Amino acid sequence: MQISAKLRIATIAAATTALMSTATLFGANAQETYRIGYAISKTGPGAPGAATSTTPNYEMWVKEINDAGGLKVGGKQIPIEVVEYDDRSSSEEAVRAIERLINQDKVDFILSPWGTGMNLAVAPILDRAGYAHLAGTAVTDKAPQLAKRWKNSYWLLGTGEQYAVEMAEFLKGLKEAGKINDKVAMIAVADGFGIELSKAGRKALEDRDFDLVYDKTYPLGSQDLATIVNEIKSLGADTFVAFSYPPGTLGLTEQSRVLGFNPKIFYAGVGTAFPLYKNRFGDNAQGVVSLGGASEDDPKIADYIARHVAFADREPDRWASIVNWASLQSLQQAIERAGSTDREAINAELAKGGFDTILGTYKPGDQTFWQVGQWQDGKFVGVAPTSMEGAHELVFPKPEWKAAQ
């Protein structure tokens, strides 16, 4: 096949024009700022999660620092400049956006994307380029290995196993106190999170002599779980555990209420700790157990929630948001402690830990937050690990469902 000279020239011209326009868009900024970059799912399946747990915190953090004049670095105040992209919930886009942030925008620090898959996709690139990685929304059983593999990566939410084990341990305490029987009905969403937690939960519960009378998965995106609820209702389990995602979490709660399924322990998954849950179910949220939790009596946490409401017009969720905020506070202190914008100095400070955050003295990656929480009087409070300071007494048994409001 022959290609004419004209066509060839036209192609080259088109490509050059496009490339040049790309290049001019990345003009360097001469003013001294600390450049923070992030690529996050603004569109696609990851968008709702990112807009709940991650983006408002990033934006609020930058605004608060800039309103105060900027980061205090070695006697100077340097404002933060943000470069943000949309990864469109695609790993490939996330990889490309991070390459762009590193090589084109030459940002000083990169904040993590949303979700386990995205964080894993960008982790090797950040590591190679010497950027620290505060993975704020990844739950993976490989977390300890990953932290070793990529020296400057911090897996803030830890492993799925830890939540399941802590829950099983807590249930064991109730069983030994004679409050619940040994029957547990467990369901999980057929997605990475649900599978990982149910796998760990199955083992943890069986190790503690619980009898799993029901153990099934439901497909991602499914909201109508009435058949499952009906089936479980007749099994006589005092404990119901659902490692669910937001649509399923809401569906399960609603259908359990309608069908009058009211086990002594009602544990639902991601979404329970969202403010949305309380808004939707009101008093019926009382007594529902889930993962996460917040010490809302702690003035620091209460203040954070109030500021979040003022900034974003909604409450933060009581799990990932809080951990993310603690990591952002840590980052700010690491930069100020390093006294320079040198990346290695900041990475070294981050590794030292000892930051004063809403989670107390904190080092990114510490799992010093609530693993089991419960809605009590409109607050999602921490109940386990029971050894933690400020652990609330469990509301037990779960109160009867009230009629819909």
Partner 1 sequence: MSILKPDFIKPVGLGAVIFAALAFLPNFVDNYYMSLAISVVSFAVLATAWSMFSGPTRYISLATVVFFGIGAYTVAVLGEHMAFPLVLICAALAGTVIAVLVGFSTLRLAGVYFVIFTFGLTELVRQVVSWYEVNVTREMGRYVFLDITQNDIYWQLLALFAILLLTGFILARSRLGFALRIIGEDETVAKHCGIDVTRVKVALFVLSAVFMTLTGAIMAPRWTYIDPVIAFNPMLSFQVVIMALLGGPRRLLGPLLGVIPLTLLFEVLTASFPNHFSILLGCVFMVIVYLLPGGVIGLYEKYRAPKKRTLSPPDGNNTTPKSEEKAA
Binding site for partner 1 (CB under 8 A): 1-4, 6-7, 10-11, 14-15, 18-19, 21-22, 25-26, 42-43, 45, 84-86, 88, 90-93, 95-97, 99-100, 102-104, 116-117, 120-121, 123-124, 140, 142, 149, 190-196, 199, 217, 219-220
Give least dist CB 151 to partner 1, A: 15
Q: Closer CB to partner 1, residue 213 or residue 220? A: 220
Give least dist CB 120 to partner 1, A: 4
Give least dist CB 328 to partner 1, A: 20
Task: Give me the sign of the Cα torsion angle 112, 113, 114, 118.
Answer: negative
Give least dist CB 36 to partner 1, A: 14
8 Å CB contact between 293 and 382: yes
Give least dist CB 4 to partner 1, A: 7
Give least dist CB 88 to partner 1, A: 7
Sequence-ordered list of residues with C-beta below 8 angstroms from that of 173, at least 6 positions apart, any chain: 386
Sequence-ordered list of residues with C-beta below 8 angstroms from that of 124, at least 6 positions apart, any chain: 150
Q: Closer CB to partner 1, residue 95 or residue 391? A: 95
Q: Closer CB to partner 1, residue 190 or residue 226? A: 190
Give least dist CB 8 to partner 1, A: 10
Q: Closer CB to partner 1, residue 221 or residue 236? A: 221
Q: Closer CB to partner 1, residue 116 or residue 159? A: 116
- Cα Rg of the chain, angstroms: 24
Distance between CA atoms of residues 230 and 264, nearest Å: 16
Sequence-ordered list of residues with C-beta below 8 angstroms from that of 368, at least 6 positions apart, any chain: 359, 360, 362, 388
How many Cβ atoms are within 10 Å of 175's Cβ, its own excluded? 18
Give least dist CB 152 to partner 1, A: 16
8 Å CB contact between 381 and 293: yes
Q: Closer CB to partner 1, residue 194 or residue 373? A: 194
Q: 152 — phi, psi (to 5°)?
A: -95, 25
Q: How far apart are the first and last CA of the chain?
A: 72
Place of tokens 């799993």: 212
Q: Closer CB to partner 1, residue 121 or residue 288? A: 121
Distance between CA atoms of residues 78 and 65, nearest Å: 9
DSSP annotation of 404 reads: P
Distance between CA atoms of residues 186 and 168, nearest Å: 12
Q: Closer CB to partner 1, residue 26 or residue 303? A: 26
Distance between CA atoms of residues 350 and 30, nearest Å: 28
Q: Identify the CA nearest to 320 among candidates 187, 169, 130, 193.
A: 193
Give least dist CB 362 to partner 1, A: 26
Q: What is the DSSP string of 136-189?
A: -S---TTHHHHHHHSTTEEETT--HHHHHHHHHHHHHHHHHTTSS-SEEEEEEE
How many Cβ atoms are within 10 Å of 279's Cβ, its own excluded? 11
Helix or strand run (H / E) with residue 400: none
Q: Closer CB to partner 1, residue 2 or residue 31? A: 2
